[in-house]
Structures are given as structure tokens and as C-alpha cells.
Amino acid sequence: MKVEIVGRSVPKSIIQAYEKYLRLERNYSRNTFENYMLDLQKLVNYMDDEGIEFRNITLAQLDTFAAVMRDMGIGARSLGRILSGVRSFYRFLTLEGEVPTDPTELLESPNIGKHLPEVLSVAEIDAIEAAIDPNMREYQRDLAIIETLYSCGLRVSELCELLISNLYLDEGFIRVRGKGNKERLVPISTRAVNELQQWFVQRRELNIKKGHEDYVFVSMRRCTKLSRITLFVRIKQLAELAGITKNISPHTFRHSFATHLLEGGANLRAIQAMLGHESISTTEIYTHIDRSRLREEILLHHPRNIKNNNK
């Protein structure tokens, strides 16, 4: 879909420069790029209607823009995304020297509320692995999948796209291609390395389809790279077999990875780097999980609470 910004309040040359910034410097996917441009069009329409030139917009006028969006029935989550796009545009303008100060610096996003994702305990992860039938052809592959997901905190797509040529197992690292095609090096545990090496022994016996030879994880039946749907279904099956009632998915291992690191004393910035989060605020959700668990522990074990519970 071709997204072309139409409006008087922002010159075409500025729009074209911003497009290049999003595509080349930010390296956004086509879908993300189009969303940013569609959201910018909403701001341009507002400025055109109000007779505001892009260099002169104030924080108060941006707050009014947000209020107009709410009045149009746009929900908090969607409004948050729109305002994120507005901030991106003005960060670009500030970098380019087109505006002296960033008017979005104090622009507040709507309060969506913190959704705390499900987290597995180490015992539950062990139970899922124990639920894998050793007699199944997929046994070693599935063990390697779970250990890699949990050891490296990968997104589902990152695991499915993981390449053999990007594994540095002797050094204890893997190279991961994340959102926006950004690459990062992630440490991998000795246990995950061992499971992968055993999987590769079995994998060499498969007749992998052309074009899929470099993918780490493949379908045992089709001999092509593993699909996200197959992975989702398999994890659900294993959780059910393990008797786990939590609503989990492959992504749950990523949440567990981050939460367990934080509980173990890891630095939040280090966790951010390993997860590939662009903003530290995304990683900070795990501090909320940690605090929630801390509260549960206090309620359970603090002498005052124990006394009250025994009444």
C-alpha cells in the first residue's frame, strides 16, 4: 500500500526526508512504516484544520489533538500508537534542526494499564520438557526448541528464522535477527548448546528442502523451516500434557527468561539488550512482575501476615 501524506501544514520535502529516515535509518518494516505515515496523516489533517504550521505547534495543541482523537472513538491503545508516531516525527525534526525544541517531550500517552504476562517457574519448564515423549521423532528437536527459547529469550519469529550460520556455539553466542531486521548477539546456555548439538545429529539425517538448509529448526514431516503456527500448537500441547493450566505460548518462555534474570539480580539494561527492546520502558514491565511476586512473598511469609492468616 502506497501511503502519501497530503496537507498544507508540512512541506512535501520534509515528508520525503522523514520517509527516508524511517526506511533507511530506523530500518522499519513496511507495515510499521505505513502505520507511522497513516498516523502522521491524522496530525497533518488536524494542523490543516486548525491552521497550524508544523514548526509552531505547542504542547497544548498536541493535547487537544489527542482529545480530538479520543472524541472520534479511538481507543487508548490505538491512541498511544498514534502519539508514538507523532513523537517519532518531531524527534526527527529536532535531529534535522527543523524545530528548535521538541514539543512532544512532555506529551503524555493514555493510561493503558500494565498487563503482566504469564511467567513459568523453572519447575514448570522442567515439567514441559518431561512431557515430551522420547519415542516421538520430534523429541530432541522439541527439547532444543524449549531450551533455546528459555535460554535466549527469543521471540517466536526469531526462533523460526534462526540460522545455523548465525550460531557460535563454541563461543556461547547466537546472532539473532529481530524487529526491523536489527541484529543482536545473545548468550546461550551450555544446556541449550548440548540440546542443539544432539538435535543436529538427527537433523543431518533429514532430507531438508532446497532453500531451507540453513534454518536451525525444521518440520520433521515437510523438511522445511518450522512455522510459527506449528510452534504455538506444539507448546500448547506440551503445556497441557504437563498439567499446566496457565495460558501460555512460545512467548511465555521469553517472559520467563527476563523475569528470572531480573529476580537473579541482572541489570535491566542488560536484559533490554538481550531481548532486543528498543526502549527501556518496554523492558520495565518485568520490574512490575518482580514487584508483584515480591508482594506475594511478603503476604505469604511476613510474620504479621502469617499471624493474620492463622486467625
Q: Cite the active site residues.
A: 155, 179, 251, 254, 277, 286
- Which residue do the cell numbers 553466542 mark? 173
CA angle 240, 146, 163 (to 5 degrees): 140
Residue 243 region, left (φ>0) first, then alpha (ψ -120 to 50), else beta? left
| Separation of alpha carbons 185 and 237, rounded Å | 31
Q: What sign results for the dihedral spanned by CA atoms 99, 82, 250, 159?
A: negative
Q: Please list the alpha-helical segments (H only) found in the chain.
A: 12-20, 30-50, 59-71, 76-95, 122-130, 139-152, 156-160, 190-203, 228-241, 250-263, 268-275, 280-283, 285-301, 303-309
CA angle 305, 309, 311 (to 5 degrees): 120
- Which residue do the cell numbers 515439567 mark? 127
User: Residue 38: CB partners within 8 Å, gap ≥ 6?
Assistant: 3
* Closest by CA position to 199, among listed 248, 148, 152, 241: 148
